[in-house]
Structure 1
Amino acid sequence: MSWQTAVETTVTGLGYELVDCERSAGGLLRVTIDKLPAQADAGELITVDDCEKLTRQLQYVLEVEGFDYARLEVSSPGLDRPLRNAAHYARFAGQEIDITLKLPFQGRKKYRGVLGAQPGAEGDQAWRLVFDDGTAEQALDFTLDEVREARLVPAFSFKGRGGEPAPDRKPGQRGVIKPKKAVPKKQAGEPTEAAPGQDKVDGGLKQ
């Protein structure tokens, strides 16, 4: 069993959603969790108690399985929650997100707009971002393997799924896009570094 499987099994076994997990070169094991979708959409938030509960269980499991790490950090996803897989994209369709492409398109990698499914595309890997470039509404079609990072734009609620429908456009066709000055992104909910040798928990979204 890999360390990723050990973490995911432990997180889901305790009734949480695994949002993300990563292991740094310095030995930091960072685990990001959330309530299950139905609970989160109902307004339930990850608390410090949740993070402490999972930290204790992960420490036990990782020791039993013999996985080495320098520090363990468990936290909530924050208001700028990352989107890591197709299920995340489907859940937050209709909401505003920031995406960073792996390769630039029309001279830029970063875009902010309303997420939606790409009309006519098959499967769950093709998506569309609808945004206003200051002169007109544009649509950027992309696949998940083209995205380096995607995050929700911080908002007071995750419930809003309205959003205007994307304009009709052939699958794979991108809009004409004009670069605009990037807006600094607030890193809300981002955990702070713990002292060397200490595990860290960070829970509770501030809204």
Structure 2
Amino acid sequence: MSKRKVTEIVEELALPIVEEEGLELVDVEYKKEGANWFLRIFIDKPGGVDIEDCGRVSEKLSDKLDEVDPIPDSYFLEVSSPGAERPLKKPADYQRAIGKNVYITTYEPLDGKKVFEGVLKSYDEEAIVVEEMNKEVSIPLEKIASARLSIVF
């Protein structure tokens, strides 16, 4: 089974559990690191999640995964916060990030660059606008390889 298919199935299984707990499902990752597979579930809520939130979701999701058994390989289940540099994937993620510092990579160069870091000024269905060193750059959504919040020190 493909990694993409696994994450889609797990997302369908995890979403009701996460929402029942009053949390947001941020992302699902299924990746091999060394000899081991890891299934990572990232959850959040206003003010952040704590160890109890992660534990409740992990326990309920583990039971559901054992029941449905959608993954043929053995794996380690990890449930955690997305962290301070949370990925931006959904429209709501971009909306919440307006006015915050972001780190964007693109699939191909735009104006000779593939990495943009600055303040997210706006978002719509077509593109985002990032202010980088007092210059606004419009980045089409289909060109974005990855996007996340960025901590400025």
TM-score bracket for the superposition, by shorter chain length: 0.7 to 0.9
Summarize deviations over 1:101-138 as a string: whole Å, max 9, x none: 111123321111111226xxxx5332101111xxxx21
Summarize deviations over 1:14-63 as a string: whole Å, max 9, x none: 2110111111144310111101xxxx1xxx22111111111101101111
Give aligned pairs, total: 141
User: Which amino acid counterpart does residue 60 of structure 2 have in structure 1?
Assistant: Q
Question: Conserved in 2, the CA contact under 8 Å of 1:98 and 1:150?
Answer: yes
Normalised TM-score (structure 2): 0.83
User: Moved runs in structure 1, 4+ residues, more than 4 A?
Assistant: none
Change in 2 beyond 3 A, CA 1:107/1:89? same
User: Which amino acid counterpart does residue 43 of structure 2 have in structure 1?
Assistant: I
Query: Is the partner of 2:59 in helix, strand or coil?
Result: helix
Cα offset for 1:75? Answer: 0.8
Q: Map 1:72-87; keep pairs closer than 5 Å.
A: 72-87=77-92
Q: Map 1:149-168; keep pairs closer than 5 Å.
A: 149-154=146-151
Query: Is the partner of 1:154 in helix, strand or coil?
Result: coil
Residue 48 (structure 1) aligns with: 51
**Aligned-partner Cα distance in 2 for 1:84–1:3:** 17
Query: Is the partner of 2:64 in helix, strand or coil?
Result: helix
Summarize deviations over 1:125-184 as a string: whole Å, max 9, x none: 32101111xxxx2111112221111111126xxxxxxxxxxxxxxxxxxxxxxxxxxxxx
Q: Map 1:127-138; keep pairs closer than 5 Å.
A: 127-132=128-133, 137-138=134-135
The structure carrying a bigger strand percent of its residues is 2
**Aligned-partner Cα distance in 1 for 2:118–2:26:** 22
Query: Is the partner of 1:24 in helix, strand or coil?
Result: strand
Residue 5 (structure 1) aligns with: 12
Residue 165 (structure 1) aligns with: none
**Aligned-partner Cα distance in 1 for 2:68–2:20:** 16
**Aligned-partner Cα distance in 1 for 2:25–2:151:** 20
Normalised TM-score (structure 1): 0.63
Question: Conserved in 1, the CA contact under 8 Å of 2:104 and 2:117?
Answer: yes
Question: Conserved in 1, the CA contact under 8 Å of 2:10 and 2:28?
Answer: no
1:142 to 134, 139, 143: 139
Unaligned runs of 5+ in 1: 156-185, 187-207
Cα offset for 1:88? Answer: 0.5
Residue 114 (structure 1) aligns with: 119
Query: Is the partner of 2:16 in helix, strand or coil?
Result: helix
Supply the RMSD in Å over aligned alpha carbons.
Answer: 1.9
Residue 28 (structure 1) aligns with: 38
Structure with bigger gyration radius: 1
Q: Higher mean Cα deviation, 12-21 or 22-31? A: 22-31
Q: Give aligned-pair identity as a percent.
A: 30
Query: Is the partner of 2:132 in helix, strand or coil?
Result: strand
The structure carrying a bigger helix percent of its residues is 2
